[in-house]
Chains A and B, each alone.
Chain A
């Protein structure tokens, strides 16, 4: 049977300073070396497992969405997206090509499964989307280069509280998988969940890192994602910092893996291909894993 399939999920922090380090040629500096070394495996893995489409879950950081409009879940159905000027000038990276046909299909299917998505036909994409692409695909010339495949941006509000719950995100991931699998074309789709891990960018508690909590959460995300999904927001805020709440987005990608059915883990845990954790990148703990469906 001809159908699209989610083959793997990728999870990574999307720290803006990582993008800046790549754009300014600092990746070999002592400070940055260990961060990028954690992605050497991943870049090779991307070459060996090139997807046809990346469904990229991220958050917009007051870039495309100001306080004028705050969608909880927004799916990009455009043909392309420009890298945004976030105040430092746009990142020198290629335009992001979309996949309007699959994106529209997913939008229709997921809305029919009772998730009220906002459909976006025009927006710029910020570091939340482009830094994971840079980390996984390496430097690309902004004009002559290109990303390896089309990308469907899926923006989640994690800026204004309350953000969607972990449970809602986990359930949404399952709906996205159903949507992908009902698309009548043989496409290899990866789903990426980005943001986190522990970090706080504000107030007297700025700079908070919780290595122990982060790693326990990673264990749970891999082995017992339904339990991770059940955690309330306050756990993230208290233990992983006010911006650590971004981690709920990883549950969308995890919920889309094939061991999850009707909210429960039914099959064997996906194959863990890579796991990496490093402190710090700027204010943030960098976490990264790759899971393959078996």
Chain B
């Protein structure tokens, strides 16, 4: 019998469940390694060589190199693990989260200061909120973000 996954109909959202976690194991463990300063240095010195030390899929490596967090998440990454890449790049959680929306940093920050993204239209896939697939990209950084995403 299939597992109950009632969260599949939430737009713009990938729930990090056991299936995603299994797919993303090595990607996420690579991220964990960046909690050590010497590993951050080695990664920054030669990203490709460092990634090749891990049993990640080629697609996961490409997603990391592109810093496309949506793509990383589809291949099993989780934001709390992926945040270690952002930290290595000197990015805040807000910059990382914003990068997944197609908005520029400023556009995303302004949305948050204005009270955040509205829930209306964003509860179920098929409504008409700004997080729905047919309303992407959301901002002027969009084309860039979505060029990367299409590779997946």
Contacts and interface: CB of A to CB of B under 8 A. Distances in A.
A2 interface: no
Interface residues of A, number: 47
Contacts of B80: 61-62, 159
Interface residues of B, number: 61
A66 interface: yes
A267 interface: no
A254 to B, nearest CB: 24
A66 B28 contact: yes
A16 interface: yes
A161 B17 contact: yes
B79 A208 contact: no
A160 B25 CA distance: 12
Contact of B73 (A68, A85, A203): A203
B66 to A, nearest CB: 16
Contacts of B124: 238
A159 B32 CA distance: 14
B82 to A, nearest CB: 9
B15 A161 contact: yes
A84 B35 contact: yes
Given A204-B131, A209-B115, A237-B10, A67 B29 contact: yes
B63 interface: no
Nearest to A89: B37
B116 A209 contact: yes
Contacts of A67: 21, 24-25, 28-29, 32, 81
Interface string B106-128: 00100111011101001110000
Nearest to B84: A87
Contact of B98 (A89, A206, A213, A233): A206
B101 to A, nearest CB: 5
Contact of B100 (A203, A213, A282): A203
A128 to B, nearest CB: 10
A208 B116 contact: yes
Given A87-B84, A160-B17, A204-B136, A66 B12 contact: no
A204 B35 contact: no
A87 B92 contact: no
Contacts of A61: 80, 83
Interface string A201-222: 1111111111101000000000
Which are the 5 A-B pairs with shortest beta-carbon distances? A209-B116, A87-B87, A204-B12, A205-B12, A205-B131
Interface of A: 16-17, 20, 31, 61-63, 66-68, 84-89, 159-162, 198, 200-211, 213, 232-234, 237-239, 242-243, 279-280, 282-283, 285
Given A203-B100, A208-B117, A237-B10, 20 more contacts: A17-B93, A17-B94, A61-B80, A62-B80, A66-B81, A67-B29, A86-B35, A87-B87, A160-B18, A200-B97, A200-B117, A204-B100, A204-B130, A204-B133, A205-B10, A209-B116, A209-B119, A242-B15, A283-B112, A283-B116
